[in-house]
């Protein structure tokens, strides 16, 4: 006794505009005005984290990265990344935070 194989139903070939226009119109009608940068909910946390990275925390991260690179160099195999990564981390921590915060808080 053989069983008949049934194939799944194929969706309609064409895309119907009404399937997208109605949800888009509802979303547009319900949308409110949004102001970038007007919310100050996370300002205290952002300030603490920025102070940490620009202060002793950034120095600690850089020194730990440099120590990891030196340990890798002492293992006997040399790669450019062992020197470049600590330098990049130091530059990123030192100058990256002010660049990111100025870009995020920029008035467009």
Residue 10 has pLDDT above 80, yes or no: no
pLDDT for 9 equals 65
In a domain, 5, yes or no: no
Residue 91 has pLDDT above 60, yes or no: yes
In a domain, 19, yes or no: no
Of the candidates 72, 71, 68, the one whose C-alpha atom is nearest the C-alpha of residue 86 is 68
In a domain, 26, yes or no: no
What integer best gives the mean pLDDT of the chain? 76
Count of domains observed in the chain: 1
Residue 106 has pLDDT above 60, yes or no: no
pLDDT for 21 equals 81
According to the per-residue pLDDT averaged within each range, which of 6-10, 13-17, 32-36, 61-65 is highest?
61-65
Average pLDDT on 30-34 reads 71
CB 89 within 8 A of CB 61: yes
Tell me which of 15 and 91 has the higher pLDDT: 91
Residue 2 has pLDDT above 80, yes or no: no
Question: Which helix (H) or strand (E) is 18 found in, with range?
Answer: helix 18-30
In a domain, 77, yes or no: yes
Distance CA 66, CA 45 (A): 28
In a domain, 12, yes or no: no
In a domain, 13, yes or no: no
Tell me how long the chain is. Answer: 108
In a domain, 66, yes or no: yes
Average pLDDT on 63-89 reads 81
């Amino acid at each position: 006794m053989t069983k008949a194989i049934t194939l799944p139903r194929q969706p309609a070939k064409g895309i119907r505009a009404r399937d997208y226009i109605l949800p888009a119109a509802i979303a547009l009608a319900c949308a409110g005005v949004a102001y970038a940068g007007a919310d100050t909910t996370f300002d205290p946390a952002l300030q603490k984290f920025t102070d940490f990275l620009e202060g002793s925390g950034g120095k600690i991260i850089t020194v730990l990265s440099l120590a990891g690179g030196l340990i890798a160099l002492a293992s006997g195999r040399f790669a450019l990344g062992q020197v470049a990564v600590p330098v990049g981390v130091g530059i990123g921590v030192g100058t990256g935070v002010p660049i990111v915060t100025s870009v995020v808080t920029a008035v467009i």
